[in-house]
């Protein structure tokens, strides 16, 4: 429980500092795009 709390506090601090986060849908699209690029041999 303490580790979860520490992680949540860190995320909230990042949010307050203006760091960009991603929605689940945005993250899903980023991951799918990356997987397609790697599968097509276009990985960086």
d(C-alpha 21, C-alpha 18), whole Å: 9
Q: Is residue 25 part of a domain?
A: yes
CB 30 within 8 A of CB 22: yes
Does residue 13 belong to any structural domain of this protein?
yes
Question: Count of CB atoms within 10 A of residue 34's CB?
Answer: 13
Contacts for 43 with CB less than 8 Å, ≥ 6 apart? 34, 37
Domain of 32 in residue numbering reads as 2-39
pLDDT reported for residue 42: 74
pTM value surpassing 0.75: no
User: Do the domain assignments include residue 44?
Assistant: no
Tens digit of each residue's pLDDT (9 = 90 or more) over 1-44:
999 999 999 999 999 999 988 999 999 999 999 999 999 987 65
Number of structural domains found in the chain = 1
Is there a domain that residue 9 lies in?
yes
């Amino acid at each position: 429980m303490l580790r979860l709390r520490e992680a949540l506090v860190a995320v909230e601090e990042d949010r307050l500092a203006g760091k960009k986060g991603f929605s689940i849908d945005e993250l899903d699209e980023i991951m799918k795009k990356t997987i397609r690029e790697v599968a097509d041999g276009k990985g960086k």
